[in-house]
Amino acid sequence: MQPARLRARLRAVLLVGVVALFVLSVPWYRAATPAGEEPARWLGLPDWVAVALLCYAAAALLNGAAWLLTDIEEGSDEGGEG
Amino acid sequence: MSLPTLGVIGLALYLVALVGVALVARRARRDLSPSDHFLAGRELGAFVLLLTLYATAYSGNSLLGYPGEAYRRGFSFVMATGFMMAIIVVFHALVPRLRPLAVRHRFVTPGDWVRHRFGEDAAARALRIAVALLMSVALANFLLAQLKAMGELTATVTGGWVPYAAGVIGLAGMILFYETLGGMRAVAWTDAAQGLLMLVGLGTLLAWLLGEAGGVAATVERIAALRPEALAVPDAAECANWFSTIALLGLASVVYPQAIQRVYAARSARSLRRALAVMTFMPLTTTLVVTLIGWAAIPRLQGLGTLEADSVMPRLLGEWAAVGPFVAVLAVLVFLGALAAIMSTADSVLLSLGSVIAEDVMGRPRQDPATTRLGKRIAGVVTVGAVVLALSEGLTLWGLLEVKLELLIQCVPAFLLALHWRRLGPAGCLAGLAAGTLFLAAAGALGVRRIGGLHAGVIGLAVNGAVAVAATGLGRLAAPRRAA
């Protein structure tokens, strides 16, 4: 496979990973805390907050790598223009 | 020496430095063309580009509005780190396609892309003007939020020595002065210095707050005792709002005219790629820090009302400065960093507004020096209007931010959909934009801000996109019949 195509595929995989981390960061899969109870703590924070922050830290790493793999042409006239 | 005295001295020194930068930037200009004034001659390198993107993205909303919202909402505002990062993710859909076209066709404003993509027929002209008007209204709202934040911060830190109204009027005048004199160069150079000040200042303030409170775990413990509901796992509506806010910020922020113009202004694709790769980490060093500051304020400043919560940051600075003279100097540095961040966003907004109204709304030619002069005059008129509005209070900074983004997000199909879908026509795109904006206006008139946790603007965007696709499809079906 050509290096440019390999870079493009790797970039796509990284971006899929970023989107998955964003979906995981929102605690939609957790039951709401019953009144009078507290969620468990992790790293000193409510566990769902710590999970969200870890997801965002991992997303930053993947997205940063994806930008370094992004090919931006200088001055070519391509794309979705009509 | 007290904080108000130090605040006034620091403010005076900072304003003198800004005048110096404006004069140097004026000497560095090459000509009077809009490209040189509004895009700094397209010569921003990776480092300055990074800092100007950073200082522009992190504004009064970030430094005053976000701690206020974290104070009001509690831990669910951890979403802020995610939605600020989403902006740099969504840029993947814009930059690789728009940048090469911008370089080849010498775009100056967002409307140059719309003109290039959709042509010059009646529907395309109407679309370009509609996009420019929506952007202008959103930008004017954004400017208003910055002016309010500047006034509040200055009044608090100078102990009322510079009253709110004087802060708004005086600092708005200063922005207008250096932006008119030095254009994008003055804006980018001041942004770079302002970005560095902000990073250092925020980190120092957070270290003090957490040190005083005994660390993150102890802060959480005190919040749990005071407001246990702030720790609860969000319910379904709050989770929907979290997703909606990520979509709202991520999509709307990439069509900020000032962000698009920085994509145009980069010296090279390499500079742009590097700047964006580093920008993706900035939410962890800035948004997370201001969110933590808002949480730390919950036990320290109990009982603040909805509007008062926007002053969490200046109140904390006041408490911090009382510790001792050395710390008071640090507190003034944080104050200047915050003020600098707010001013850097306001100056970028003003610069973009002048160019968008002069070129895209009024149709002035993009290479004509007269367009530059007109853009400067427009910036002056808009500033006066925004100052008048900023002198009346009402909405929170977060509220102003949401209103702006919900309008701006209706422009997304004209950029992201148009870049990726060749068949999208101007009439379909215009119909979508009209449908989305009408939906938003109707929701606003009925007092509906959210439906099931989703922002009315995000639902409006779905309506907008669906109408744009349907109208384009219908137009293509009707075209062969007309031809026959």
Q: Are residues B466 and B331 in the same domain?
A: no
Nearest chain A CA: its distance from B424 CA (Å): 8
- Domain membership flag for residue B330: yes
Task: Give the pLDDT band of residue A79 (cuts 50, 70, 90).
Answer: very low
Within-domain flag for B21: yes
Tokens standing for residue B250: 């991520």
The answer, yes or no, to whether residue A78 has pLDDT greater than 70, is no
Pairwise CA distance, residues B176 & B12, whole Å: 17
Q: How far is CA B184 from CA B81, B146, B169, B192, B374, in A?
A: 28, 18, 22, 12, 16
Q: What is the pLDDT of residue B366?
A: 67
User: What is the spatial distance between Cα B9 and Cα B11, in angstroms, rounded to a whole number?
Assistant: 5
What is the per-residue pLDDT for B484?
Answer: 43
pLDDT score at B187: 74
Q: What is the mean pLDDT of residues A51-62?
A: 98
Which residue in the block uniquely carries the two structure tokens 């304020």? B297
**Which of A7-21, A36-50, B206-220, B381-395 bottoms out in mean pLDDT, i.e. has the lowest?**
B381-395
Name the 3-class secondary structure at B246: helix
B99 touches chain A (CB under 8 A): yes
In a domain, A76, yes or no: no
User: How high is the pLDDT of residue B373?
Assistant: 76
Q: Is the pLDDT of residue A80 over 50?
A: no
> Count of CB atoms within 10 A of residue B347's CB?
30
Residue B409 lies in a domain: no
CA distance B384 to B89: 36
Q: Kindly list the residues from chain B whose CB atom is less than 8 angstroms away from the CB atom of residue A41.
A: 217, 220
Q: Say how far apart CA B42 and CA B23 lie, in whole Å.
A: 20
Q: What are phi and psi of B230, to 5 degrees?
A: -70, -20
Tell whether A59 lies on the interface with B, counting CB pairs under 8 A. yes
Q: Name residue B324's amino acid.
A: G
B101 with A77: Cβ contact below 8 A: yes
pTM of the model: 0.84
How high is the pLDDT of residue A77?
43
Are residues B377 and B438 part of one domain? no
Residue B118 maps to which CATH number?
Answer: 1.20.1730.10
ipTM of the complex: 0.89
Nearest partner of B419 among B204, B166, B113, judged by Cα: B113
Tell me whether residue A74 is in a domain: no
Q: Which residue of B has its CA nearest to A47?
A: B233
- Give the C-alpha separation, A21 to A62, whole Å: 10
Which residues of chain B neighbour A26 with C-beta distances below 8 Å? 79, 239, 242-243, 246
Q: How many domains does chain A have?
A: 1
Q: What are the per-10-residue average pLDDT scores of chain B (484 residues)?
A: 81 86 78 68 75 74 83 93 96 95 89 91 92 87 82 82 88 83 75 74 79 85 89 92 94 88 88 93 91 90 77 81 78 79 79 81 74 77 77 60 82 95 93 95 87 92 96 77 49
- Both tokens of B151, joined, read 């006034």
Same domain, B429 and B390: no
Shared domain check, B463 and B363 = no
Give the structural domain span for B294: 3-399
One domain for residues B367 and B460: no
Domain hosting residue A64, numbered range: 3-30+39-68
Which residue of A lies nearest to B102 if distances are taken between CA atoms? A75
State whether B239 and A27 contact (CB < 8 Å): yes
For residue B293, tell me if it sits in a domain. Answer: yes
